[in-house]
Amino acid sequence: HADLKVALAAVTALGQIGGDLSVQALVGAVDDSRVDVRKAAVASLGGLATRAALPALLKASLDKSVRFEAIAALAQTPDLRALDAYLEGLGGKNATLRDQCRKAVATLGAEALPAIEAKMEATLLSNDAILELQRIYNKPVPVTDWMIIGSFPNPCPEPFPTDAPATDKEFKDAQ
């Protein structure tokens, strides 16, 4: 709609209604020429948390004017295809976005590790993102399966002579 208020109200209503038709209309609104409408559409798609919106949200995450909202929306539906967006969010200054992205990466778990390790080897991650990744993946794990494998020869000499006098006899002072 040409009126900004009407367009924003429609986008918000579609986000509350949900369903396939709403998602299709919101995906179209992500490409609107007005930034406010794009932001509202991206936020509504994030609230719907549907995988059908993933391609549009990935495209929106490349647009600087709606990047923050797009990354937050992508974090609502963790998907390996959005890993780059999550890693960008992990390295950002916004604590809420970092937390959302941390949860998304944690949900992906081991599935995301090969891609993350490749980015680390190529030094493509910020120090802040690496710190957040350490918080996700460096969890203490209890040792649940262990066994004693036996005694080993002691390479050190005995600390006291083994031929010392017997201790079961009574001691008499030399004086």
Q: Is pLDDT above 80 for 167? A: no
Rounded to an integer, the average pLDDT of 9-23 is: 93
Percent of the chain at pLDDT exceeding 70:
95
Reference 70, options 31, 33, 103, 105; nearest CA is: 31
pLDDT the model gives residue 134:
93
Structure tokens of 74?
């992508």
Q: How far apart are CA 51 and CA 49, in angstroms?
A: 7
pLDDT the model gives residue 175:
65
Give the rounded distance of the alpha carbon of 96 from its chain centre: 13
pLDDT band at 165 (very low <50, low <70, confident <90, very high): low
Reference 90, options 64, 62, 116, 110; nearest CA is: 116
Q: How far apart are CA 108 and CA 82, in angstroms?
A: 10
User: Between the CA atoms of 10, 15, 21 and 27, what dihedral angle is there, to the nearest 10 degrees?
Assistant: 90
Rounded to an integer, the average pLDDT of 40-54 is: 94
Between 148 and 96, residue with greater pLDDT: 96
Q: Is pLDDT above 70 for 144? A: yes
pLDDT the model gives residue 9:
95
Q: Is pLDDT above 80 for 127? A: yes
pTM value is: 0.74
Q: Is pLDDT above 90 for 83? A: yes
pLDDT the model gives residue 2:
87
